[in-house]
Structure 1
Amino acid sequence: MLHVRSIWNGAISFGLVSIPIKLVNATESHSISFRQIHVEDGGRIRYRKVCELEEKEVSGAEIGKAYEDADGSMIPITDEDLSHLPLPTARTIEIVAFVPADRIDPLQMDAAYYLAAGGAPAAKPYTLLREALKRSNKVAVAKFALRGKERLGMLRVVGDAIAMHGLLWPDEVRAPEGVAPDTNVTVNDKELDLADALMDTLGEIDIEELHDEYREALEEVVAAKAAGEAPPQSPEPARGGKVLDLMAALEKSVKAAKESRGEEAAEEDGSQEDAEVTHLPARKRTAKKTAAKKSTGKKTAAKKTTASSSSSAKKTASKSSQSTKKTAAKKSTAKKTTTKQQPAKKPASRKRSA
């Protein structure tokens, strides 16, 4: 922070307390910029400032400001004219109120700055304001002047520093008229459940892990061209199945999100002609409970089936044994009966001798 050049010096007006501060940019751009060239020979294309009346190039020292009136006439405005403007915030960030953070519409937020304490005397009041903001869980709304106009700002605590977000004036934010669909659309509970499931599947992410992939790809192209090599080609995007309706799109999105996170997607009993649709529960927690119930149900059913099979086997074996015994008894009785019914053999007659 010590090596960052301040863009504005002044003070924070906190009631009767004045806190000397330096305004420094809190953000920086890493975008790759290009120059315009003449395609035929690679020469630089430059812009020159030319006076329309004299048709000649003029230097920066000869250029001033003017306001263009409705009829096209120019009204010159000098730096001296601007220095006499009745702005109490010319060198002061004047705090006008303390409000909850959710009172600030994000649409109003503009550029962000850090407020650095201006020397040792500013350390005590700076720390006082920072700790007061922390304890109150509020943000400060302030007015300040920068680059020739008065602006609105919001002060909040970031780490051990005080940051200020430039805010647009309320009348600079357009109302969202004519933006929302003008047709009557009904969203049912099942669609909302699928949307919730998709949100749960995507989960959260650490913002610090996000980066500008377009800039990285552009750097690769520039490096390849500088080395005289062919620039890398982007891979062909995967072509997905045709989405039949909103429900199919939501279900395919949930499935794709699960697969990208390494989770197993639930299998579907049926399939559609052009798109595979997976019916998933509304929320993860419900899915886990349902799976647990199904697993418990399967185990209980298995136990019941095993017990039933064992009982049936025992009953069958018992019946078989009883049947065998009865059959053997019948056979024995039949033999006895047969023996009784057979007539006794007559003794052979003896021949008399003469």
Structure 2
Amino acid sequence: MRNILKTSVALLALAIATPSMAQEKVLGLAAIDLQNSFFVRMKEAGDVATSDYGVKATWQSAEGSLEKQVGIIENFINQGVSAILIDPIDKNAVVPVIQKATAAGIPVITMGNKVEAGENYSTLYPDYENMSMVARAIGASLGGEGEVALLVGSRGNFVSDTREKGFLDTLAKEYPKIKVVGIEPTNWDAAKATNAAQTWLTTYPDLKAIACISDSLCLAADSVASTMGTDLIYGGYDGDAEMKELIDSGKMVIDVLTGAYRVGYWNIAVAARLANGETGMPKDLYMPTYFITSDATAEKLKAAGVTFDYISTEKAAVEAKNYTEQLGPKLPASAMTAGK
């Protein structure tokens, strides 16, 4: 009996000294989907961040359905997770459920979206300014004239809408002779981008360029154009590794590195800090981005009057996976807000 008592006391001491599973911080993430290559990479680096920060994360895919995404968030609230991350399909439609979460004392991070829901945090990029530069690069490359098209995400998504507006506003103001012949919402689905590109190339034989608010859409469009024997130029956003050949060849005149790995790590890092009670972070957090192009393309754009700071594809490959050094737990909270 005495040995049993000693064992019980030892186990109790261990339980007090060691946090239980119930005490472990758990993050709930409601993604748009987890099939797109960008989201797959986000999760991969996000899982590294959970290890670095000593938390767990539950990733759930809404599969492009707003109704399903709201249901996922409701479940996270009921489970009492430590923080909720949302990549909103519709920035307005998720406001009530975000407010419900914050009322329950759960920090909410809207990823890549400025959502006005009161106490939520928004992780953002300088999307309008970046996509304006994409428009300038395409406009200058075309000599200020020609037909272009734009592949976007979904209506109501802050990132997609902001990038679209930056692109269109800049073309209208600075390149009035360029005609936008098509704008297609794809819900970040490469198959829909493929269908749109096929339609445009058939309907508009003089199409000269396609811009994309996400690189995977440009990659799908280029596959169609190559099959049809059509030469196009592109301007994109994300800095995906698959764009290297297009950038180095000059077919993609500019890309913007947010980096799926960096985005995934950064968002989990923000959520982990909030879940652990860290204070002092602003409601709007901006991540630094980079323009990517080749030296040859940069020289051509400079001759056409467009200049900007940029990195090569080789440098982009390094920066894309340098997330622990950029955003790890040993860094101060200011590292989370260095982009603006």
TM-score between both structures, scaled by the size of structure 1: 0.17
Q: Answer 1 or 2: higher relative contact order, Cα 8 Å, separation at least 6.
A: 2
**Larger CA Rg, structure 1 vs 2:** 1
TM-score between both structures, scaled by the size of structure 2: 0.18
